[in-house]
Amino acid sequence: MSDNICKVIAEVGSTWLRSDPESSRQSALDSIRTAKECGADIVKFQMLTPDGPWSKDRASDKWEATRPYWLPPEWLPSLRTLAANVGVEFWLSFFDLKAINDYARFCTGLKVASGELSEMGRPILCALAKQAERYNIPLAISTGTHAEAEVAQALDWLKDFSIEVILMNCVSKYPANVSDYDLIWPLKYQRKYWNWLRLGLSDHTITAYPDDISFGEARLTNEAIRLGYTYFEKHLKTLGTPRSNPDYRHSLSPKQLTIYIEAIRKAECQWLEVEKQLAPGEEGERAWMQRGSDGKRPRDA
């Protein structure tokens, strides 16, 4: 797996769906290969099932709309195996307790989708934390649609689990604008939970020019990296994803995702290459402030 400091998550979402089951399965496998070729560290699918995230009785239109995108559980072994073989981590977002208990074992990382940090979502959140602890894998929590009090409450629920948590700064607009993102608010939580909390950006922005990803995203990701964010999630579409797909508009093509990841790697390297220098006027203090070869001040050389 990757040793990069910044981890890029290629979110497949619903873009694997094709006209028939076998073509869809091949598309899901191709998404994993493509994510690796683009330079991603992690590939993530959504584990949609008949039991979630929307109730058939209370939101029948949403339930019906998601039906084509229910990820067949029998695909999971081959998806996980391919991810391991090509060298990317395999993550899933979960929406119901049964799926968590049955299928978390296939994952190298878990994610809580936006909308699950309220009191009603607590069973899902804690069940995922339990599995993350069991398998010693990270848990990412997405904050879209949630206000400050709900985020703070969710982190408080997680503090007794021995896991790494990634707080994903998310704006649940598809697409979102760069100006919609406030990168500062999560920093208080990183300071408070520095030993187990990492910061991530669930990036739903798009650019004005399809082939120039640096136009919008680099400004956002560069600032995030400067502030200490280390996880970046971006939706991926592959060849053959129909324009009618609900994730099409806010997903990047392989070429675009490659450019996006290259911009992150460049910013990451620039950050690593920054060295501490003496401030103007410090040079004259070195002899008095540092010990010499005899261990005494002032410095003798």
How do the pLDDT tens digits run along the chain, 301 residues long? 567 899 999 999 999 999 999 999 999 999 999 999 999 999 999 999 888 777 777 778 888 888 899 999 999 999 999 999 999 999 999 999 999 999 999 999 999 999 899 898 999 999 999 999 999 999 999 999 999 999 999 999 999 999 999 999 999 999 899 899 999 999 999 999 999 999 999 999 986 434 554 444 578 999 999 999 999 999 999 999 999 999 999 999 999 999 999 999 999 988 777 788 888 888 888 878 888 888 888 887 5
User: So where are the chain's domains?
Assistant: 7-289
Tell me the pTM. 0.90
Strand partners, 231: 7, 200
Token pair 């910061």 in the structure block, residue: 199
298 preceded by cis ω (within 30°)? yes
How many whole angstroms separate alpha carbon 195 and alpha carbon 251? 33
Q: What is the fold, at CATH topology level, of the domain defined by 7-289?
A: TIM Barrel (3.20.20)
Q: Please give the pLDDT value at position 2.
A: 64
The alpha carbon of residue 129 and the mean position of all alpha carbons in its chain are separated, in whole angstroms, by: 16
Q: Please give the pLDDT value at position 301.
A: 57
User: Each residue of 188-230: pLDDT tens digit?
Assistant: 999 999 999 999 999 999 864 345 544 445 789 999 999 999 9
Neighbours of 229 (CB within 10 A): 25
How many whole angstroms separate alpha carbon 34 and alpha carbon 237? 9
Mind giving me the DSSP string for 111-180? EEPTT--SGGGHHHHHHHHHHHHHHT--EEEE-TT--HHHHHHHHHHHTTS-S-EEEEEE---SSB-GGG
Per the CB < 8 A criterion, the answer to whether 73 and 21 are in contact is: no
Q: Please give the pLDDT value at position 300.
A: 73
